[in-house]
Amino acid sequence: MDRELADNLEALHPDAFGWALHCCGGDASRAEEVLQNAYLKIVQGRLHHAGASSFRTWWFGVIRLTAHEEFRRLCYRESLLGKLWMQLTGDARDPRPSPSHQAELDEQTLQLRAALAQLPARQAEVLHLVFYQDLTLSEAAAVMKVSVGSVRQHYERGKARLRSLLQPSSDHES
């Protein structure tokens, strides 16, 4: 790996982890694994930045696709392990731990997370890329591999939906 590539990856690491965390639904251990596998793809020479987009946009696309690959692999493994576990133990409950092991957050953060969770996946992805990762709409479109028009539509609809979800309801004011 050349020095420029290493420097670019190092500079983007905190943002890359944030994006991986989003792509993994907030599961930090899965995000670490996804990011490690994305780094491995580059170190092993399986991927190269061709220059068609900015390095950041390309790297976030690699992370997103790696997260999708890992998710498919995980679902396959868990379905087989879950079936085996139920056959061996006769236990019908899910043996996996709950994913809700998160640090305590203030009420506004919880409300925002709850509102974001109610958005369709594409809208949530666009908002994350634009607000958390400071990408432009065209860069977000490249990461998501959709048209800029589609990203604009998801962006506007996501903002409008978030606004309505975060507004205090008039029922509580009377």
Instruction: Map out the domains of the chain with their CATH numbers.
Output: 1-101 (1.10.1740), 103-167 (1.10.10.10)
Q: Hey, how many other C-beta atoms are within 10 angstroms of the C-beta on 69?
A: 14
**Position 171 pLDDT exceeds 60:** no
For the segment 140-169, the average pLDDT, to the nearest whole number, is 90
Predicted local confidence at residue 96, as pLDDT: 45
Q: What is the pLDDT of residue 173?
A: 46
Written as one string, the DSSP assignment of 53-87 is S-HHHHHHHHHHHHHHHHHHHHHHHHHHHHHHHHH
CB 19 within 8 Å of CB 64: yes
Inter-CA distances, 13 with 39, 92, 120, 152, Å: 10, 41, 27, 27
Amino acid 165: pLDDT? 87
pTM comes to 0.54
Q: How many whole angstroms separate alpha carbon 144 and alpha carbon 121?
A: 11
pLDDT per residue over 41-93, tens digit each?
988 888 888 888 899 999 999 999 999 888 877 776 666 555 555 555 555 55
Side-chain half-sphere of 111: how many Cα atoms within 13 Å?
Answer: 10
Q: What is the mean pLDDT of the chain?
A: 80
pLDDT digits (tens, 9 = 90+) for 10-44: 999 999 999 998 888 888 888 999 999 999 998 88
